Amino acid sequence: MKLLERGLPQGSPLSVTLYFLYNSGLLEYNTDPDKSDSLSIGYIDDVTHLVEANSTLEATREMENLGSRTVEWGRRMGCEFNKRKTKFMLFTSSDREQQQLRFGEEHLDPSVSTRWLGITLDPKLTYAKHIDTIRPKADTTIAQINRISKRYFGIGSTDTRILVKAVLYTRVLFGSILWLNTSTRKKIKPILEKAFNRAARMVMGSLKSTPLIFLKRDSELRPIISTHITQTHNMAL
């Protein structure tokens, strides 16, 4: 047995709680209660600083201040930040030339996209790059379920239906309250409809020529768009 002098024990049930307590200092250190134009939030070891300003230059300078305080906190607490995973993004409708961000000894160019907690963001929040991932994600998931749900062997239609709802719907609708809106609906609707059609045929073991009306009636699956609407309403309530 070795005495642990620094860090947290791997696999300990207390490690997550202890890390939350340790990491909370960074969020508190960078949060000024007198200022409402900046916010620091975290999820496990993923820390995000948000700044609101009247210009990209002003926002960049304020973000550099937060970055400097973050690096300073890291030095005091023995915490190293992965510079390669550090992303800087400006959310703006302006196409003007944008400034680099100084973070410690690094100079970061504004990113054209970044993935945050499973959602791909872009500077104008069109979510176009995230929507581009939905079709391959649906195709991969359907192929995975299809391998174990053949008509004459494997799991039955009831279990296949459960997997479709629990896995396919969950994957393709992850974060949809953000990216599925009136601006993106036209682009995403045919992608989700095709995923539903393939999933319904898989559940029923139907031919490609089976009319859609029978798939909707007999597969006992709700259309993916309808599931999104219900989930959104439930979250609002």
Q: Each residue of 65-109: pLDDT tens digit?
A: 888 888 888 888 888 887 778 889 999 887 776 788 888 888 888
* Shared-domain flag, residues 132 and 97: no
pLDDT at 30: 58
Percent composition of the chain: helix, strand, coil (DSSP 3-state, to 5): 50, 10, 40
What's the predicted TM-score (pTM) here?
Answer: 0.79
Q: Do 89 and 40 fall within a single domain?
A: yes
Q: Is 148 domain-assigned?
A: yes
Report residue 12's pLDDT band, with 50, 70 and 90 as the boundaries: confident
Structural domains counted in the chain: 2
Residue 132 shares a structural domain with residue 100: no
Check whether 2 has a pLDDT greater than 70: no
69-77 contacts, C-beta under 8 A, 24 or more apart: 69/29, 69/30, 70/26, 70/30, 71/103, 71/104, 73/25, 73/26, 73/29, 73/30, 74/26, 77/22, 77/25, 77/26
Q: What does residue 47 show for φ and ψ, rounded to 5 degrees?
A: -110, 135
Q: Checking DSSP bridges between strand 106-108 and strand 114-116, what pairing results, if any?
A: unpaired
CA distance 36 to 19: 27
Q: Are 149 and 230 found together in one domain? A: yes
Q: Which pLDDT tens digit goes with each residue over 163-211?
A: 999 999 999 999 999 999 999 999 999 999 999 999 999 988 887 778 8
Domain range for 19: 15-111
Q: pLDDT (tens digit, 9 = 90+) per residue, 105-156?
A: 888 888 889 998 899 999 999 999 999 999 999 999 999 999 988 767 778 8
Closest by CA position to 131, among listed 195, 192, 196: 192
- Range with the poorest average pLDDT among 48-57, 145-154, 159-168, 228-237: 145-154
Backbone angles phi, psi at 122, to 5 degrees: -130, 160
Q: Tell me, rounded to whole angstroms, the distance of Cα 208 from its chain centroid.
A: 33
Q: Is residue 6 part of a domain?
A: no
DSSP H helices in 102-184: 128-131, 134-147, 157-163, 169-172, 176-179
